[in-house]
Amino acid sequence: AAVIAIGVLLYKNLDTIEAKATEVWSAVSSKVTEVVENIKDKFEELKAKAEAIFNSLPAPARAALSAIASVFSVQFNVIKTVVSTGFALIKNTFTTAFAAIKALVRGDMEGVKQAINNGMKNAWNIVRNGVTNIASAFKDLGVKLRQAGRDAVQGFIDGVDGKIEAAVAKMRELA
């Protein structure tokens, strides 16, 4: 009897419950987005200051620091992907659960099946996209490290070349 009463109560208030859950999710999502944006802004400020210092360094030092920055950039992207994938999965779980409950309360077993099926497909796509983004980040790391190595060698060559030219010019001056 209590289960039936709860079912009837849920059925009568399903739209209110769904609206409230959507409101709560939006508030949480909005706050998380705000925090992430603030963190991104602080990182952009820090990045601008670091770039000014970085550009004043000799080429080999810049190349070495570029390699280190590439590793940290990949780590940040992986963390960002894991967090956003986690939130997307949580949102998908709630959406799926509400759709299934809504269908169940209405006695629509096909709707329950469809809600669960859609939820599973969405979860699979969320995870697949997350894994693809992480793999892409590591692929980009290899490209960035190779370029940093090239820049380091070219910086060394340019430095040696410049010193040789200065030495030759000095010898001509003395001769």
- Write the pLDDT tens digit of every residue in 11-24: 788 788 888 888 88
Helices (H), ranges, the chain:
2-55, 59-105, 109-174
* Residue 90 and residue 174 in contact, taking contact as beta carbons nearer than 8 Å: no
The per-residue pLDDT for 140 is 79
pLDDT at residue 47 is higher than 80: yes
At 31-46, the pLDDT tens digits run 988 998 999 999 899 9
The per-residue pLDDT for 124 is 95
At 93-147, the pLDDT tens digits run 988 998 888 888 888 899 989 999 999 999 999 999 999 988 888 787 777 778 7
pTM for the full predicted model: 0.52
Dmax over CA atoms of the chain, in Å, equals 110
The per-residue pLDDT for 120 is 94
Q: Which two tokens stand for residue 128?
A: 């697949």
At 140-168, the pLDDT tens digits run 777 777 877 787 788 778 878 888 888 88
- Which of 83, 85, 82, 120 has the alpha carbon at shortest distance from 99? 120
Residue with tokens 């699979």: 124
